[in-house]
Structure 1
Amino acid sequence: MADAEVQIDAEDGGPVGDVEMGDTEIAATGVDESGLQDIEAESQPQKTFLAYLKSPIVELTIGQGDDATTLTAHQGLLTHSPYFREACSKFSDSAGRRVIDLPSEDLDAMGCFLEYLYTHEYFPRLIGPANSATSTLEPDPQFDIPDSTGNAILRHARVYTLASRFGLPSLRSLAHAKIHRTESTAKGEIAYARYVYKETDMADATIRKPVAAFWANRSYVLRHEAEEEFRRMCLEYPQFGFDVLSLVLDEQEKRKARAEGAATGGGSGPGRKRARMSTG
């Protein structure tokens, strides 16, 4: 999906040294009227990375039953997420093991989440600024280019929804940027659209609107490359079909208005007014 994405403001703190994704560092100078620095002004000391590594280890159990996998992470980094901050607040200082069960989370997405906490990136990395049209993704040998299955773009979609649940807007913004820099075929895009309409909130226009716009602008692709998949998608998720149809009709109305404006010299005279319905 190569269309320009909607930008998302980053609000979470992120790991130490995090200055990307629009984060703004605010420093209180505490300067008094004499121009001297108020050395007693309250300030938040900056944590070192070593301080995070000294924090307790937390076990994260992903999946359930025989498919369960245990990952570990330092609590100091996990608590950048409000979700894990609340979960970790329930541990006592004397707790022998700190375990958090995540039975319904995707293992690969959790791996990307933890990679981001430690490095502020996850594979495949974004080459160039996230808000730049020239930025690209580094090659991922797991997937063909373009991706015909949708698995490449779904990796970032899963990270996006996971970041939303865990309260990390900067990770969500990064995943969203990667979605729009992943080359995929029509069938791959349908797989991505199905995931978005199944897993995201109806009010999340940030990720839903570009999906509908992508297909509204590519009706020729639907007829020749993915007509059957598109039909099944519309039957399974009527909201998707409605969103696409609404955008198509909006564009038709705009073209009609432009044509009528050109025919009448761009004026607003009677030729452009709708006939008033009779009430008599």
Structure 2
Amino acid sequence: MKKLKLFSAMFFIISAQLFAQGFSDIVHVNPNYQPAKNLNGVMTLTQETIKEVVIIAMDPGSSFVLPDWFDPLFELHLPQYFSQSTHANFIYQPTVLKRDATHAYEMLTVPSQHSHGTNNMQYVLQTADATVNFALYDWNNDGIVELHFTSIGPGNWGVAYVGGWYSYEYITNDQGSNGLIKVRVNHESRGINRDNYYGVIVHEDGHFYFGFDDQEHEYLTTFNHWGLGSFDAMSHILGFYDDQRVFTQPSPYNPTYSAVKGWI
């Protein structure tokens, strides 16, 4: 049995290294890697549709004009990515709230890392509340709208709150079936360009919706945060460093690719 386990581990590492040779950098896989606890569930779950409300903001002093890649990212690339990487079991349907068709909402200050800050979130949500009826997005009629607060600007980071936790709650002026609608920010993301931003969102959604844990792996330098196994090694390798390959090639951790290789 020990020999079989050793052979399997060697096969995994060698296969990952052979696959990675198609990249300009070799992917070094932690030999102690264990699949994320929910990974097998992702492979077998009944098709699930997630309707996510996203609000987009930018730093003060910017033009607030959304880049031309922004709409296609949410309308096409992210839904396609989650569908393909889960065998069409996870249908991602984001609703993006913007100041208008081409502009993001304005924040009061440049956010610090890993939090947009209460003042920024309050200001943006107050601005949106003047024109948005948040009751339209209370799909389960519990009086609460779960919100993904995101921004584009210098830096890249994110945070996800699982198990009902959230970073900020805002009470709107909109009436729901249980009183005034509450908006809860349950995950945040920030990126500086298309590929970087794509990777951060995949990382945080992997945490929030799939329960994937951070896992240690190496890429360029040894770092122990960016590896979510199924999703994030892909987003990191093909996204975090803006190498323009994010939409074209799967990583060895992608569930579809892993299933084909017999790794799951």
Which entry has the higher C-alpha Rg, 1 or 2? Answer: 1
More helix by share: 1
Normalised by the length of structure 2, the TM-score is 0.25
More strand by share: 2
Normalised by the length of structure 1, the TM-score is 0.24
